[in-house]
Amino acid sequence: MTDTPHTRASDAINALGPGPVAIIRDEDGTDLARTVAHARTIGFNNVLVLTHDQSHTEGAVSLKVRASATLHDLINPMLDPLNGRWIYLGHNAEYLYFPFCEGRSIADAAQFITEERREAVFCTTVDLYPSQIDRGAASLAAEDAYFDQDGYFSRNRFDGPVQLERQIDVFGGLKWRYAEHIEWTRQRIDRIAFFRAKTGLRMNEAGLFNDPEMNTIACPWHHNMTFCVASFRVAKSLINNPDSTHAIENFVWDRSAKFNWTSQQLMELGLMEPGQWF
């Protein structure tokens, strides 16, 4: 991280108020303002943007970081100072959804998850894409967002020959349909995007924590609430990557649906569930 009087990580953390924190890695500026606005709409009073340029985003604390830094490299040094805080990790042009988020806040969800004695929430990334590809577009229109209604599958996760308890890998969306353009180690769409930081907690390059229980889909005794991250990130990459841009004329297929930006749509399709939260 760049160590200047205005961009030290400690200064950024000290500038945060109480409550859950949304940490957004700004990769290219695309729809960053809309990303921050969505986080605040669902109840994040604290939004920290990790950016490699000098821009400031309204409603967020900005921290300048190296352009080449990955999200797990950036977040790991912050986990000890953020001990006890609930954190969402995402990127620009990604939007967190949780059950009933239109009428309940992320603080409400965090309280319920804590009461269930869980420290992390299993999330599925739902790829969003435009109906018409505009390779020169500076943003992706919210009113022209589509996603796959089916084509999702999961498999048990293994460490060598050993099956890991209550851990699964999930696949689907654009990463499944255009797998030939995406490195196989990056084809999973599951992630732990919302979790409680604690001293000694670390995330690896695959987005998994050194505490195995925090990588599980649910506790042993019942299903828990799960979240979704609606994301334009893969569509952006496929549109802009020289190896894929001319191979893709249109993302839409016969199982595409228009995204209506509600948690209910995601729950009805089984992409996330409320668990015991009604």
Length of the chain: 278
Q: Which residues contact 33 (CB under 8 A, 6 or more apart)?
A: 57, 58
d(CA 37, CA 174): 25
Asked if the model's pLDDT at residue 266 lies above 90, the reply is: yes
pTM of structure: 0.94
Asked if the model's pLDDT at residue 180 lies above 60, the reply is: yes
The beta-strand segments (E) located in the chain are 21-25, 46-51, 61-64, 86-91, 94-97, 120-127, 129-130, 145-148, 153-159, 162-171, 190-196, 227-231, 256-258
What is the tens place of the pLDDT at every residue in 12-56?
A: 999 999 999 999 999 999 999 999 999 999 999 999 999 988 667
What is the tens place of the pLDDT at every residue in 130-151?
A: 998 877 666 678 889 999 999 9
d(CA 71, CA 73): 5
pLDDT of residue 132: 87
What is the tens place of the pLDDT at every residue in 185-214?
A: 999 999 999 999 999 999 999 999 999 999
